[in-house]
A and B are shown apart, each in its own frame.
Chain A
Amino acid sequence: MFKHYFEGAENIEVGPIISLIIFFVFFIGLLYWVIKADKEFINKMKDMPLDETSVDNNNLNKKD
């Protein structure tokens, strides 16, 4: 009787395949962009956390 449960799910095989294709295409596109990305842009993004904007009146954040 329980095999009906799985019978009902037959068409579902395409689900994972569709998603795999979506992911694969997306991933390849992403990889392509990342590899081709402008180095200057990447370096600028990379340094963003270290870019201090605080007005350090008391030199509180100065590295010693």
Chain B
Amino acid sequence: MSVEKFSYDNKIVKYFIIATVVFGVVGMLVGLTIATQIFWPAANFNISWLTFGRLRPLHTNAIIFAFVGNAMFAGVYYSLQRLLKARMFNDMLSWIHFWGWQAIIAAAAITLPLGYTTSKEYAELEWPIDIAITLIWVVFGINMIGAILKRRERHLYVAIWFYIATFVTVAVLHIVNSMEVPVLMFKSYSVYAGVQDALVQWWYGHNAVAFFLTTPFLGLMYYYLPKAANRPVFSYKLSIVHFWSLIFLYIWAGPHHLLYTSLPNWAQTLGTVFSLMLIAPSWGGMLNGLMTLRGAWDRVREDPVLKFMVVAITAYGMSTFEGPMLSLKNLNAITHFTDWIIAHVHIGGLGWNGFMIFGMLYWLVPKMWGTKLHSTKSANLHFWLGTLGIIIYALPLYWGGVVQSLMWKQFTPDGFLQYANFLETVTKILPFYMLRLLGGSLYFTGVIFMIINLMKTAKAGSFIANEDAEAPALEKKVITGSTFHAALERKPIQFTILTLIVISIGGALEIIPTYMVESNIPTIASVKPYTPLELQGRDIYIREGCVSCHSQMVRPFRSETERYGEYSKAGEFVYDHPFLWGSRRTGPDLHRTGLGNKNAKPNSWHYTHMYDPRITSPGSIMPRYLWLHENTLDISSTPAKIEAMQTLGVPYPDGYAATANDDLRIQAEAIAADLNSGDIETSSDKEIIALIAYLQRLGTDINGEK
């Protein structure tokens, strides 16, 4: 058997590590900024691109795709080469992957603050960037599968299965959820509407958490934890069961984000049941990780790498227990739309992803620079700052979430809402927001210590760009008599296809029926498409990220119908491309804000409210939207928007695109005249007019039914 000499590419890993750290800092700083703005709105300096609604998606995208994404690639590129005993497939592909991904991040950092967004959570990037993501993701896939094909190790270690599942599933999720009709260079409409769009989005959103933040990191755990502890994983058999049950079950759980909404009941129940079942594989994985350290717990006291990993795995266990619990309808009724969810995701983000990344970096950098960690003391300080940071971040939000939720639901003995003014429930929890900022700051301080420590470590060593290795070539031979799974582990292509089938079952069985059902629903006769002005207003609502803080989904609870009005019906959203149900109520629900509804307000109220929310609602934490009163509405896009909607099946009359702006002007002038009559000086061509038109339309169609 001939021994082949080759080398591992460490340079690409180094670059991904640098990108991880840089974008980690950026993403966390944006997080701290919006954490400040939420109790002190003036911190946006009244600059449109610094407002909460626009920065919130930047924060989530930066953390998920830039910080965690780059860390995932660094971890995969390092471990994959060693587990395969082969260099990556092609160095050029590695670099296209690296620079392509960074270019996508740069595009996101520019377009999101400018208000170019699809408004679908974690999929906000507009269509040209969506295409770029697809291409670069495919480059990553080719590079990975290619490396697997030229491997010198016959069987694929469990970590690689997780990487393959990540690649396959993220590709499917991204493509299905990003189906959109381009309208302008940076504007598109989702091909799905209302209930369908919501289901597809949360099938995506939930599985972005599953297959971008979880499966690749479980793969990393199965490689780096044994490495750091210098002992094999507790049970390899358990890891096999863990893998297949996790990827099979995860894909079903999306609808738990839509409990009590207008989503059909069967889909909601399906989401709950599969979420509950998920506890088993999740905890199997967690126990497998923790048990790997059996007999080595004394080393956890000494080694910061193990410390970070133990807390990371514990955080994984906590959030994967919490997730299924939050999927129970009774608990979901209290926690949904509150800060509890924000705390929940940050246990996952700060604890699981963040701490796994830190542990991995503290292990990788000394290794790749051929030296020892500069300061274990500093790493320990980082560990404690981070751990305290997570606790001080999460506890106030858990507390505040419950406080606010109970206030929303509190009735007086006479049967009235005790806190009828939504603002009372907001001002009550502001102190919790301040504590959250403190927690986040502590966590961030720890990261600064890490950066200094890692830089000093790198300086002390010398970087090994190409690490020499040798291994016997893989002989071509026919193996007979082995069992199904052992054979599968030798066949990467078949393995990938089986993974694709497994993850497709859940998605298909959930989403296809909603199509079928949608075609079966008789549309509510009185639900009509938006007028051109309302459509433009809706796009301003999307641009400003209003959906970050306002839901449009009144759930069928007495406390909500009492506060907002009639609960939301599936048939009301059939022309909503995209849906705007929201996921957090920092401000009140807006679905019944329109004229003639329970929460209707005069045009002048909206005008003044957008100018300065503190005038109409003292104590409000909403940003001012001064530019809406100054900017002229761009109506040149109206025909293209109407045509795009027609393509999607919205029943505007034939040829309406050409005359739509005439109707737009008539409606705008009526609103402007109404405002003028109330001593407000404005003209009909301002953006605020379109936004008011949209808000006045919200949830009104159903009134025609009565």
Spot the interface stretch: B482-490, B529-537, B581-589, B605-613.
B482-490
Which residues of B in the span 202-241 have a Cβ within 8 Å of any Cβ on A? 222-223, 226-227, 230-233, 236-237, 240-241
Whether A2 contacts B468 by the Cβ 8 Å rule is no
Interface string of B149-173 (1 = CB under 8 A from A): 0000101011100000000000000
Whether B517 contacts A50 by the Cβ 8 Å rule is no
Which residues of A in the span 9-62 have a Cβ within 8 Å of any Cβ on B? 9, 12-13, 15-16, 18-19, 22-23, 26-27, 29-31, 33-38, 41-50, 53-55, 57-58, 60-61
Whether A37 contacts B85 by the Cβ 8 Å rule is no
Whether A4 contacts B83 by the Cβ 8 Å rule is no
- List residues of chain B with CB within 8 A of the CB of A13: 266
B370 in the interface (beta carbon within 8 A): yes
- List residues of chain B with CB within 8 A of the CB of A12: 266, 513, 517
- List residues of chain A with CB within 8 A of the CB of B249: 23
B452 in the interface (beta carbon within 8 A): no
A30 to B241, CA, bound (A): 7
A34 to chain B, nearest CB (A): 5
Other-chain residue from A2, A27, A30, A33 in contact with B570 (beta carbon distance below 8 A) = A2
A41 to chain B, nearest CB (A): 6
- List residues of chain A with CB within 8 A of the CB of B155: 44-45, 48
Whether B236 contacts A42 by the Cβ 8 Å rule is yes
Whether A5 contacts B241 by the Cβ 8 Å rule is no
Whether B570 contacts A47 by the Cβ 8 Å rule is no
Known A-B contacts A9-B517, A37-B237; A45 and B157 likewise in contact (beta carbons under 8 Å): yes
Whether B517 contacts A55 by the Cβ 8 Å rule is no
Residue of A nearest to B522 (CB): A4
Other-chain residue from A6, A9, A49 in contact with B226 (beta carbon distance below 8 A) = A49
A27 to B249, CA, bound (A): 11
A19 to chain B, nearest CB (A): 5
A39 to B411, CA, bound (A): 63
Other-chain residue from A42, A44, A47 in contact with B237 (beta carbon distance below 8 A) = A42
B626 in the interface (beta carbon within 8 A): no
A6 to B219, CA, bound (A): 41
Known A-B contacts A19-B505, A46-B232; A53 and B237 likewise in contact (beta carbons under 8 Å): no
- List residues of chain A with CB within 8 A of the CB of B270: 16
Interface string of B227-268 (1 = CB under 8 A from A): 100111100110011001100110010000000000011100
Whether A60 contacts B370 by the Cβ 8 Å rule is yes
Whether A2 contacts B569 by the Cβ 8 Å rule is yes
B412 in the interface (beta carbon within 8 A): no
- List residues of chain A with CB within 8 A of the CB of B245: 27, 30
B409 in the interface (beta carbon within 8 A): no
A23 to B245, CA, bound (A): 8
A4 to B351, CA, bound (A): 45
Whether A15 contacts B513 by the Cβ 8 Å rule is yes
Whether B370 contacts A48 by the Cβ 8 Å rule is no
Known A-B contacts A23-B248, A34-B241; A50 and B232 likewise in contact (beta carbons under 8 Å): yes
Known A-B contacts A50-B226, A60-B370, A60-B464; A5 and B264 likewise in contact (beta carbons under 8 Å): yes
Residue of B nearest to A12 (CB): B513
A43 to chain B, nearest CB (A): 8
Other-chain residue from B233, B471, B486 in contact with A53 (beta carbon distance below 8 A) = B471
A63 to B236, CA, bound (A): 25
Whether B469 contacts A55 by the Cβ 8 Å rule is yes
- List residues of chain A with CB within 8 A of the CB of B157: 45, 48-49
Residue of B nearest to A44 (CB): B155
Whether A9 contacts B232 by the Cβ 8 Å rule is no
Known A-B contacts A50-B227, A55-B470; A45 and B158 likewise in contact (beta carbons under 8 Å): yes
Interface residues on A, range: 35 or more
Residue of A nearest to B367 (CB): A61
Residue of A nearest to B82 (CB): A53
Whether B509 contacts A18 by the Cβ 8 Å rule is yes
Residue of A nearest to B506 (CB): A19
- List residues of chain B with CB within 8 A of the CB of A43: 236
Known A-B contacts A8-B516, A16-B509, A30-B240; A54 and B521 likewise in contact (beta carbons under 8 Å): no
B467 in the interface (beta carbon within 8 A): yes
Residue of A nearest to B471 (CB): A53
Other-chain residue from A29, A37, A49, A54 in contact with B232 (beta carbon distance below 8 A) = A49
- The residue among B5, B79, B483 with the most chain A CB atoms within 10 A of its own CB is B483
Interface string of B318-348 (1 = CB under 8 A from A): 0000000000000000000000000000000
A22 to B270, CA, bound (A): 15
B182 in the interface (beta carbon within 8 A): no
Residue of A nearest to B468 (CB): A55
Known A-B contacts A8-B521, A19-B505; A46 and B266 likewise in contact (beta carbons under 8 Å): no
Interface string of B125-161 (1 = CB under 8 A from A): 0000000000000000000000000000101011100
Whether B248 contacts A47 by the Cβ 8 Å rule is no
Whether A37 contacts B486 by the Cβ 8 Å rule is yes
A36 to B485, CA, bound (A): 11
Known A-B contacts A5-B571, A46-B232; A19 and B509 likewise in contact (beta carbons under 8 Å): yes
- List residues of chain B with CB within 8 A of the CB of A22: 505
- List residues of chain B with CB within 8 A of the CB of A6: 264-266
B290 in the interface (beta carbon within 8 A): no
- List residues of chain A with CB within 8 A of the CB of B570: 2, 5
A1 to B706, CA, bound (A): 12
Residue of B nearest to A64 (CB): B372
A19 to B309, CA, bound (A): 35
Whether B571 contacts A2 by the Cβ 8 Å rule is yes
B524 in the interface (beta carbon within 8 A): yes
Residue of A nearest to B513 (CB): A12
Other-chain residue from A1, A7, A55 in contact with B524 (beta carbon distance below 8 A) = A1
Nearest 7 A/B pairs, CB to CB? A8-B520, A60-B370, A55-B468, A46-B236, A46-B232, A48-B157, A53-B469
Given contacts A22-B505, A30-B241, A34-B241, 13 further A-B contacts (CB under 8 A): A1-B522, A1-B524, A2-B571, A23-B249, A30-B485, A31-B241, A33-B484, A34-B237, A43-B236, A49-B226, A49-B233, A50-B230, A54-B467
Binding site for A on B (CB under 8 A): 5, 8, 79, 82-83, 85, 153, 155, 157-159, 222-223, 226-227, 230-233, 236-237, 240-241, 244-245, 248-249, 252, 264-266, 270, 273, 367, 370, 464, 467-471, 483-486, 489, 502, 505-506, 509-510, 513, 516-517, 520-522, 524, 569-571, 705
What would be 9 A-B contacts, judged by CB atoms less than 8 Å apart? A5-B517, A6-B265, A8-B517, A19-B252, A19-B509, A30-B244, A49-B159, A53-B471, A61-B367
